[in-house]
Chain A
Amino acid sequence: GAGVSQSPSNKVTEKGKDVELRCDPISGHTALYWYRQSLGQGLEFLIYFQGNSAPDKSGLPSDRFSAERTGGSVSTLTIQRTQQEDSAVYLCASSYNREIYGYTFGSGTRLTVV
């Protein structure tokens, strides 16, 4: 696609429920990143994919968070048993040759846990 697409744009969920956030990167972008943006913590790195593999999951805050990427394209970030502190904007970015072209971000998913 022309840009990085994220869905849903907004999600309200009840505490304890599971949620899935989707990222559709720019076609041909081999690298994909998830970041979390919250008022208190700023922008935090969550996970990095190169193709379908995730060599760096160091930013995932707990084992309730997981992510996968299939076909070197779409990625899904899953949060199980959501907690109120999970409320944030989840941003996805992709890149092809980041040193030349940088990173392209989507518009994010605003997750609200009530």
Chain B
Amino acid sequence: AQTVTQSQPEMSVQEAETVTLSCTYDTSESDYYLFWYKQPPSRQMILVIRQEAYKQQNATENRFSVNFQKAAKSFSLKISDSQLGDAAMYFCAYSGSGGSNYKLTFGKGTLLTVNP
């Protein structure tokens, strides 16, 4: 079974600075998808960024980028120019490819605090 590990229960960053959230995963599959979700106090899980395992290029969405190391099974999230609105719980998630691999497996989450 796939597992996702987020080793940092909490992180803090100063406004305008850069922070990196770590995620490792375990799978025997070669094709899969990785996600970072943000969950603010409103509880809604908001998709921040996604990465297809077959793509070597790291995904980027504005101030958010990932460092995807397939061999190391590592998928870290970098937030540049941190803003107060970035404060939230961040979850790393894994989904296999194909019709039978529809489940999202989540890490335990990292609580990000942004200090003004």
Q: What A residues does B102 contact at CB under 8 A?
A: 31, 33, 48, 56, 98
A-B contact count (CB 8 A): 49
Residue A21 is within 8 A (CB to CB) of chain B in the complex: no
Nearest-neighbour CB distance to chain B for A38, whole angstroms, equals 12
- Contacting residues, chain A, for B95 (C-beta < 8 A): 98
Number of interface residues of A (CB under 8 A): 21
State A8–B35 Cα separation when bound (angstroms): 27
Residue contact A103 to B47, C-beta cutoff 8 Å: yes
Task: State the B residues within 8 Å of A (CB).
Answer: 33, 35, 37, 42-47, 50, 52, 91, 95, 97, 102-109
Give 6 pairs: A residue, B residue, CB < 8 Å, sorted on A: A42-B107, A89-B43, A102-B50, A104-B47, A105-B46, A110-B43
